[in-house]
Chains A and B, each alone.
Chain A
C-alpha cells in the first residue's frame, strides 16, 4: 500500500492516495488500512451563519406582546459549572468521589459546552453537607451558573453515589439522583452522571456513557497488524477484540445489541462478519459469491445494509439478521457503496459513481428514486446520517492539490459546511446525539521508510468549534460510536 489510505467502507490499501475514488479502484481498495502518527493541524471551519433575529414588530405582534425588551445576538459560550468534591464518610469514599468528579469534569469540559471552574477559585472547598442547600452566594461569586454536589458511601460491598444539580442564580435544584453499583463500575456511574447533567442543562441526551470500536494498528508501516479494539469514549478501558491474524476494517456498532459488524479478510475471503461482544463469537453475514463490505445496521438493529461486489460494479444489499434473507436495492451497473439508513429508516444515503465521479445519493429504503445531493467541487464518500436526522456527514476530496475534508450537509444537499481538513481525514461517525463526529486522521510519511506516518482518532463537534484528539494506545483508524449506554 502506498501513501494514503481512504478506508471506511471502500477502504484504500491497494491504491495510491491520488487515485482514490477512481472508478475501478474503488473496489480494489476494499482492503483498507491506515497508518502513521502525528496530528494534522486540522482547520475547523465553523460557518454557522448567525440566525437573524425576527423583526421586532412582527415578532411582537405574533407573541401578543405590545411591548417587550428584545435580547438577541447571543454569544456561543459554555455554561460555567462548579464541581466541588463529593462528601464521603471515610477516606475510601472520599477518594471515590474525587475520582468520579474527575471523570465528570473531563466529560463536561471535553464536549466544549461547559466550562468547569478551577477548583482553586472555590470560596468553599467543598459543598455543604448533602442534606443542606448550598450557599449559593459563594458559587455565584465565582461565576458558576450550575453546581453539582453529592456524596459517596460504601454500601454492602457496593457503592452508593448521590448527586444533585443546582441552578445557582435562581437558587433551585434541577436534578437529584442516586446510583448504587459495584465498586468496579464507578467510571460508568460518572459517565451516566455527566449525561444527566448534559441532558438537563442542554435539553439533549448526552453521549458520555458510550464506547468506541475501532481498528488498532501495530507494527511497521505497510505490514501493520489490524485488530478490532474497543474503549470507552474517553479512551479508558481499552481492549482488543481480535488477535490480528486477519486484517479487519470498518467496524460498526449495532444500535440495539452488543454486536459489531465489520469486514474481515479471514481465510482470504473478504466478507462482512458479526462479532458478539458478550461471547466473542464471530460469524459471516450472508452467503455471497463476491466480496461484501461497508456494513451498517438498520436503525432498529434488525438488518445490515452493505455493499456487494459484482462484476465491475457493486450493489447495495440488505440482510435480515433474523431470517438471513437478502434484498438487493441497486443493480451493479455502477459502484454503489457506503450505504447508511436515515434514523427513521425510511431513506438511505449512499455513494455512487453512476454520474462519473463518486457522489452522494439518497434513495428510499426500499430502493429506487435515488437523487444526487452532493454538488460541490471534488468527490464525496463515506456518508453517514446523523442520529437526529438533520445532517449527513461525509468525506470530500477536492483533487490532486487539495486535502481531504470532513463536512456536513442537510439531507437535501443544502447547507454544506466543511468542519475540518487535513492531508487525510476520513471515516466520520456520529455520537448518539448527533452533536460530535469522530474520524481518523493520517499524516504523511516524510522518510523513505515511512517515518512520520501516523494514524490517530480525533473528534469535532458539528459547529466546528471544538476539535480534540482521542488518545489510543496504538495507532488507530475506522472509529465507530456505540449507541448511548452501549
Chain B
C-alpha cells in the first residue's frame, strides 16, 4: 500500500525505515486521540483544618524583640523631682481635701453667750473643701523640662563643652537593615547607596560652633542643659522683662524686715510668651514656712501672673516653645 507513495529512486532500506517511522507516528497519534479523554491528573490531597492557638497579644507579638536604642541624652543631669505646686507649707487640709463632707460643727464656745464680754467662737477645723481649681495645665513639654532642671552649681563660664556625640543607634528590625558588606564606592546597588547616605548624615565629630561673646552670646547659651532658659537671654533682654513685670509688683511697705526679703520664682511661659505657671523656686521653698516670706512670695507670683504683665517680651528666638525662666523679686 505504501509502495505507491514511495519515490521512485528510494532504496529498500529507506523504504522500510520510512514505513516504520510512519507506523510509529500513526500509533502515537492514535494513542493520543484515544487515551487523553480518559487521563485524569492525580487529585491534590484535601486540606486539613489546623487548630491555631494564639499566644500573647497582638501588640506584644508585633513589638520588636529589642527596641531601637534611643540616643543617649546629653550629660544626664540627675533627675530632680518636679517642683511641687506653689502651696503653703502650713498644713491646710482644706486646700486639697476632696469632697466636702460637711464638717461637724464644733460646739459653740461656752462663753459665747456671756452677756457682757462675748468670747470668740472657736474656729472649727478647716473645712473640707472642694478640690481647688486645677492650675492651668502646663504645656506638654514642661514636665520634661522641669525634670531636666538641676540647681547644680553654675558651670564654668568658658568654653562651652562640646556636646557629646550620641552613640550610634542599635540596628532595628524595623528601621535599620543589616549593614551592607563592603559598600563599594562605585556600586549602584540600592543597599550600598542607602548605606552611603546614612554615613554622610551621621554626625561623626563634635560640633565646632561656639558662642561669640563679642556678639552678646552667653556663656551658657545655645541650650538649656538645666531646663532653665534664663541664661539664653541677654542682660538687656532680662532687664526688659523685669521692667515689664515691675508695674505689677507691689509690696506691703510696713512689713517687718521688708528690705531683707527676696524671692526666687520659677516661671513657665507658653509659646506666645505668656506666663502660665509660677511657683517659688526650689531654692526658696524651704522658707515658705515663714508667713511673712510666704506672703511676699505670693505677691510676687501674683505680679508675674497679672494679666497686664504676664505677656513677657521674650525675644523672637524664644517664642514658639515653652520656656522656663527664673525671676528674683526684691522690694
Interface set of A (CB-CB < 8 Å, partner B): 48, 50-54, 59-60, 63-77, 79, 113, 131-134, 136, 140, 145, 155, 158, 160, 162, 164, 166-167, 169-182, 184-185, 188-189, 192, 196, 199-204, 209, 258, 277-278, 388, 390, 435, 461-463, 465, 485
Contact = CB atoms under 8 A, between A and B. Distances in A.
Given A71-B300, A71-B328, A179 B123 contact: yes
A177 B122 CA distance: 10
Nearest to A163: B127
A184 B153 CA distance: 61
B292 to A, nearest CB: 4
Contacts of A435: 254
B130 A131 contact: yes
Given A171-B135, A175-B92, A69 B327 contact: yes
Contacts of A201: 295, 298
A73 B246 contact: yes
B231 A67 contact: yes
Given A75-B247, A182-B112, A185-B118, 8 more contacts: A53-B331, A66-B231, A71-B300, A72-B246, A172-B132, A203-B294, A463-B253, A485-B120
Interface in B134-158: 134-136, 151, 153-155
B192 interface: no
Given A63-B328, A64-B283, A170-B86, A180 B124 contact: yes
Nearest to B261: A51
Contact of B256 (A170, A174, A189, A388): A388
Contacts of B322: none
6 contacts: A60-B328, A67-B233, A70-B327, A170-B135, A177-B127, A203-B295
Nearest to B231: A67
Interface in B270-318: 278, 283, 290-296, 298-307
Given A71-B300, A72-B331, A192 B123 contact: yes
Contacts, number: 234
A70 B124 contact: no
A145 B220 CA distance: 37
Contacts of A68: 230, 238, 264, 326-328
A145 B230 CA distance: 27
Interface in B223-250: 230-231, 233, 238-239, 241-242, 245-247, 249-250
A461 B108 contact: no
B105 interface: yes
B262 interface: yes
B254 A463 contact: yes
A204 B298 contact: no
B326 A65 contact: yes
A169 B238 contact: no
Contact of B86 (A172, A179, A202, A485): A172
Contact of B326 (A48, A67, A155, A258): A67
A69 B241 contact: yes
B193 interface: no
A172 B135 contact: yes
A70 B238 contact: yes
A203 B307 contact: no
Given A164-B129, A171-B132, A204 B331 contact: no
B47 to A, nearest CB: 67
Given A65-B328, A68-B230, A278-B116, A131 B254 contact: no
A117 to B, nearest CB: 15
B218 interface: yes
Contacts of A171: 132-136
Contacts of B296: 203
A71 B249 contact: yes
A200 B106 CA distance: 22
B106 A169 contact: no
B327 A71 contact: yes
Contacts of A461: 254
B118 A184 contact: yes
A188 B262 CA distance: 36
A48 to B, nearest CB: 6
Nearest to B151: A64
B148 to A, nearest CB: 16
Contacts of A189: 121
A185 B111 CA distance: 11
Contact of A172 (B87, B264, B293): B87
Contacts of A181: 108-109, 112, 121
A59 B131 CA distance: 38
B103 interface: yes
Contacts of A199: 291
Interface in B65-85: none
Contacts of B20: none
B291 A204 contact: yes
Contacts of B48: none
A48 B253 contact: yes
Contacts of A204: 255-256, 291-292, 295
Given A68-B326, A133-B132, A173 B238 contact: no
A188 B118 contact: yes
Contacts of A182: 108, 112-113, 118
Given A71-B303, A202-B255, A185 B242 contact: no
B252 interface: yes
Nearest to B260: A51
Given A72-B246, A73-B246, A201-B295, A177 B241 contact: no
B319 interface: no
